[in-house]
Structure 1
Amino acid sequence: MSRIQHTVTFRLNHPSGSAAETTFLGDARATLTAIPGVEDFRVHAQVSPKSDLAFQFSMFFADESAYAAYDQHPTHVAFVAERWVPEVAAFQEFDYVVV
């Protein structure tokens, strides 16, 4: 399998433009990019009114084993449990490979 692009598009429980929103996005960047195997991490903001999901995280993994290691990494598991679950109101996750 080729390089994997992992994306998650989401809406936070925090008010738009709030300090809590800024803190979550910054903490996510710092936490997730510290996990081995994460490449080209980006945070995108939604500009279209067609979706109420306001942000997207996008990152790449060299292969399926690197992605699996990230998904099971204790830092990722803790972030999901301690930050993602209580602070994210809705999300959609997509993983892509080049066709």
Structure 2
Amino acid sequence: MAIQHTVVFRLVHPEGSVEAAAFLRDGEAALTSIPGVTDFRIQRQVSAKSDLTLQFSMVFADQDAYDAYNTHPAHVGFVQDRWIPEVAAFQEYDFVAR
């Protein structure tokens, strides 16, 4: 069963800054290099109801592909080197079809 993995977040960098653009660019490059990541998207939140302003979304064919992503060195490295120091707050959601 396919899994849609999505993370909504707010960066420590000002919106539209060079640093924010670099984070998004580098995140896309790192995460899409991992086998099993499909339909990767970066989206910007437009509702005033949330202070989480960005979203990474991707789809995995099944739980095995998702598990392999979570332990892949590119994912682990991105989380350690970029996510932890540059993300101020986040929420993570994983969805499957009913």
Instruction: Give the TM-score of the pair, scaled to structure 1.
Output: 0.98
Aligned pair count reads 98
Q: Equivalents in 2 of 1:25, 1:39: separation in Å?
A: 17
Displacement of 1:59 in angstroms is: 0.1
Q: Does 2:42 match 1:43?
A: yes
Structure 2 letter corresponding to 1:83 = R
Q: Equivalents in 1 of 2:18, 2:32: separation in Å?
A: 21
Gaps in structure 2 of 5+ consecutive residues: none
Alpha-carbon RMSD: 0.4
| Equivalent in the alignment of 2:70 | 71
Displacement of 1:16 in angstroms is: 1.1
Runs of 4+ in 1 over 6 A off after TM superposition: none
| Equivalent in the alignment of 2:2 | 3
Q: Equivalents in 2 of 1:12, 1:45: separation in Å?
A: 12
Sequence identity percentage: 62
Gaps in structure 1 of 5+ consecutive residues: none
